[in-house]
Amino acid sequence: MEKKLPEEAMPEVLKTNDSFVKGRRKEYFESHVEAQRPVITLLTCSDSRVQPSIFSEDMIDKVFVIRNIGNQLENSAGSVDYGVFHLQTPLLLILGHVKCGAVNAFLKGYSDEPESIRCELDHLHIPISRAKGEDFEELWLSAVEENVHW
């Protein structure tokens, strides 16, 4: 997919939202106004290839989503606890993915990144220190898995 300019991308986003709203009756939205009742607390990577819609065709009120680069628990523990303790979702899923850019950046070094990104990636230190691999690809996958297990 080619990169678009903001003035090209925004009308498409608005059109999709408008189509979503027009495709549902008023009662559909009213049924979700008072409270949320998600079934899953999901911590996953912000990577645009990873979408919670894999769990349901209609995502509204199904998944309490927490996202950050590298699906890191340390950076979002409060949000995860909110889903588990306050919303009482029966499921907590930590969803990582192959070829995670955050894990790759951690493994290859990220000292040239802006401070905000460095601070966020620093939390990958403990889980990734447990990764093992014969070559980089194997190490990368192991690091993704160790991060999910952490």
Sort strands 91-95 and 63-68 into parallel, antiparallel or unpaired: unpaired
CB of 34 to Zn ion, least distance (A): 34
Binding mask 23-62 for Zn ion (x = CB under 5 A): ----------------------x-x---------------
Task: For the CB of residue 17, give the shortest distance to Zn ion in the complex, in Å.
Answer: 26
Chain centroid to CA 79: how far? 12
DSSP states along 33-84: TS----SEEEEEE--TT--GGGS-SS-TTTEEEEEETT--SGGGHHHHHIII
Binding to Zn ion (CB under 5 A) within 71-100 occurs at 100
Q: How far is the CB of 46 from Zn ion (least distance, A)?
A: 7
Which spans of this chain sit near Zn ion (rule: CB under 5 A)? 45, 47, 100, 102
